Structure 1
Amino acid sequence: MPANRPIVLFDLFGVIACHQRPGAMDEMAALSGASTDAFTAAYWACRPPYDAGQWSAPQYWTAVLRRLSLTAGPSTTEKLRLADIDSWSRVDDRMVAYVQSLRDVAEVALLSNIPADHADAFLTAQPWLHDLDHVAFSGKIRLAKPDRAAFRHCIVAMHAAPADFLFVDDREENARAAQACGMNGHVFTGRDALAAALDTWLPRQRTGVGRVPGRTAATAD
C-alpha cells in the first residue's frame, strides 16, 4: 500500500453541487395534492432508506404518499420522481473546475448521499464524474453517511489508508464520522477556505510531517 497518498474525498451537494432548487418543494407538493409543509415533512422522513439504496424510487414515493394519506398512479409518481431529480441537478461550475484541477496534485474521489436513480441521472449529465479516481453514491453502495461503513467502503475500494484521505463535506456530523474512521476532515464553508486547508494539508501529507490520523485539517470559519 503506497504511503502518504493524498486523496481528497468530496461530498457532492453543498460542496460541488447546489442544494435543492428553491421552490421545488412547492412544485412537488402541488403535484401530490398536499400542502408544502406536510409534503416536506413526509419527503424527508422517508428519505434515509431511499438514499441508502434500501428502497427503489417507486417504494419511496409510495411511502411518501402513504404518509400523507394520499394515493397516486404511476404517471403522478413518475412526475414526482423526475421533478425531484431535476431539483437536485445544479452544480457549481467553479467548484467543478476546482475539483478537476486538484487531480494534478492528488487523487480525487466522491462520496455522496444520493438515491440510485438520481445517481444515474447525475452520471449522465455530468461526464466529469467519470474522470475521478473513485465515485461512491450511497444508493449504489447501499451505505449512507454518516454511517462509518460508507467511509470504510472508500478506504477499501481505493486500497488506501484512512489517513491518506481529506474528506470535505458541508455537514459537520459527516466530517466527524470520517474522522472517527481515521480520515482527516474539513467542514466546507467555501472554496477559498478549502484551498487554504489544502495548501497546509497536501505538503504534510506528502512528507508525513505533522500528519495525525483522524485530525481535522480545518474546521468551519
Structure 2
Amino acid sequence: MSTDRSIVLFDLFGVIARHQRPGALEKMAARAHAPTEAFTTAYWACRPPYDAGQQSAPEYWTAVLRWLSVPVDAGTIEELRLTDIDSWSRVDGSMVAYVQSLRDVAEVALLSNIPSDHADAFLAAQPWLHDLDHVAFSGKIGAAKPATAAFHHCVVAMRAAPADFLFVDDRAENVRAARATGMNGHVFTGRDELAAVIDTWLTTGRGSRTRSPMRRDSRYETQ
C-alpha cells in the first residue's frame, strides 16, 4: 500500500555525517587509563542501550569504566562524554547540500542511531536538520536500527506507508531490515550513485511526484 508520496529517509553517520574521528578511541582510552583495544571493546559492547535511549550518558560511561575495572568518577565521565560527542560531530558538506536540494522534489527525513545527548548536540550545531520533514534519533524514540520499531516509528510519525520510503544507509543489515518492513532500500556507497538511484526511484514506478502538501508541525522527536 502507498499513500502516493515520495520520502527519502536517510541514515546519518557514514552517509551525511562522517564516521568517528580518527584517533578518538585512543584519546578516550588514554583518559580512562585503559589499553585502546580493551577500551574499544567496552565502548561498543556497552553501546546498544545508550543508542536506544535505555541508558543515560552517565549510566553508559559507568558501564564502560566498570567493564574496564577502572575508577568511576563524574569528572572522567564528563570528559569522556564530551570527547565522544566531538568525535561524531563532522559532516560531509557536499552530502548536506545534496540532501537539502532533494527537498524540491521529495520529502526528506532522517533516522539515525545516536544517543540522546549526542542528538541534542547535533541539532544545535547543524541548523539544516531543522529544515527536514522529520528527524528521528534512536536515543529519543527508544528504538535503534535494525529493530523494526525504528522504521515503524518513521512510518507512523510521517503518516505514510512503508512503500512511500526509500531508505538510504551505509550498512547492508539496516537496509535489509528496512526492506523487510516494506520500504525501498539502497546501500550507500557514494553521492553520484545515490543520486542516480533516487532519480530513477522518483521517475520509475513513482510517477512524476513532488512533495506532499502535508507537513508535520512537530518534526523532532524529543521524548
TM range (shorter): over 0.9
Q: Is the 8 A contact 2:2 2:163 kept in 1?
A: no
Correspondence for 1:57: 57
Residue type matched to 2:59 in 1?
Q
Correspondence for 1:113: 113
RMSD of aligned residue pairs (Cα, Å): 1.3
Q: How many residues align?
A: 208
CA displacement, residues 12-52 of structure 1 (integer Å, 9 cap, x when unaligned): 00000000000000100000000000000000000000000
After superposition, where does 1:28-177 map in structure 2 within 5 Å? Answer: 28-177=28-177
Structure 1 segments of 4+ aligned residues over 3 angstroms from their partners: none
Residue type matched to 1:70 in 2?
V
Q: Is the 8 A contact 2:52 2:115 kept in 1?
A: yes
Q: Is the 8 A contact 1:4 1:207 kept in 2?
A: no
- TM-score, scaled relative to structure 1: 0.92
Larger RCO: 1 or 2 (CA < 8 Å, sep 6+): 2
Q: Is the 8 A contact 1:164 1:205 kept in 2?
A: no
Q: Is the 8 A contact 2:2 2:164 kept in 1?
A: no
Q: Is the 8 A contact 1:15 1:188 kept in 2?
A: yes
Hey, what's the Cα distance between the residues in 1 that align with 2:71 and 2:57? 15
Instruction: Rate the CA distance shift 1:149–1:24 in 2: closer, same or farther, 3 A.
Output: same
How far 1:73 sits from its partner (Å)?
1.4
How far 1:2 sits from its partner (Å)?
7.5
Hey, what's the Cα distance between the residues in 1 that align with 2:35 and 2:107? 45
Report the secondary structure of 1:109's partner residue.
Answer: strand
Report the secondary structure of 1:108's partner residue.
Answer: strand
Hey, what's the Cα distance between the residues in 1 that align with 2:151 and 2:204? 22
Hey, what's the Cα distance between the residues in 1 that align with 2:173 and 2:206? 27
Unmatched 5+ residue regions in structure 1? 209-221
